[in-house]
Amino acid sequence: MYALGAHLLVELKDCNAAMLRSLEEVRDALVSAAREAKATIVDISFHEFSPFGISGMVVIAESHLSIHTWPEYGYAAVDIFTCGDVIKPEAAAAYLIERFESKSPSIVEMKRGILSHDNVKRPHKCTESHLQVA
């Protein structure tokens, strides 16, 4: 069986709420997590909402990381969607659990793109020779 990607849905509960309220902190955490995972960062987009709450996305060559924070609950929803063999998504998840001091984290992993027809790997953007943004 071959899946094109792995998607970690990370629930960060009981976090350090002050960190979840800070745009700079959240952005730095996600970018650092992407680097921990050895990802190739393509674009970064972070937004702060009123009265509070941060949403952010890090587009990587290997797919994306995203975060949405609810500081009033000490909760953040993180997604780490990756493809390829070089990248280490669990390293990104572990980094964020520690960075946000989550006392009650959980992770659901879903395989994305399980293709049944021939199980032959075809060259795609996640292979090293294709890590090039057009």
Binding site for a second copy (CB under 8 A): 4-5, 7, 9, 11, 13, 42-43, 45, 47-53, 55-57, 59, 61, 63-64, 66, 68, 70, 72-73, 75, 77, 79, 81, 83, 108, 110, 112-113, 115, 122-125, 130, 132-134
> Looking at 7, 15, 83, 126, which residue is catalytic?
83
Length of the chain: 134
Give, for 20, the enclosing helix (H) or strand (E): helix 17-21
Annotated active-site residue 15? The verdict is no
Q: List residues bridging with 61 in a β-sheet.
A: none
- Judged by CB, which is closer to a second copy: 47, or 103? 47
Annotated active-site residue 117? The verdict is no
Dihedral sign, CA of 121, 119, 93, 25? positive
* CA atoms of 89 and 75, how far apart (whole Å): 20
Spatial CA neighbour of 98 closest among 2, 12, 8: 12
Whole-number minimum distance, CB 103 to a second copy, in Å? 13
> Looking at 15, 63, 102, 126, which residue is catalytic?
63
HSE-CB for 6 with a 13 A CA cutoff: 16
> Looking at 32, 64, 66, 68, which residue is catalytic?
68
Annotated active-site residue 126? The verdict is no
Amino acid at position 6, single letter: A
Whole-number minimum distance, CB 99 to a second copy, in Å? 19
Whole-number minimum distance, CB 107 to a second copy, in Å? 12
Catalytically active residues are 63, 68, 83
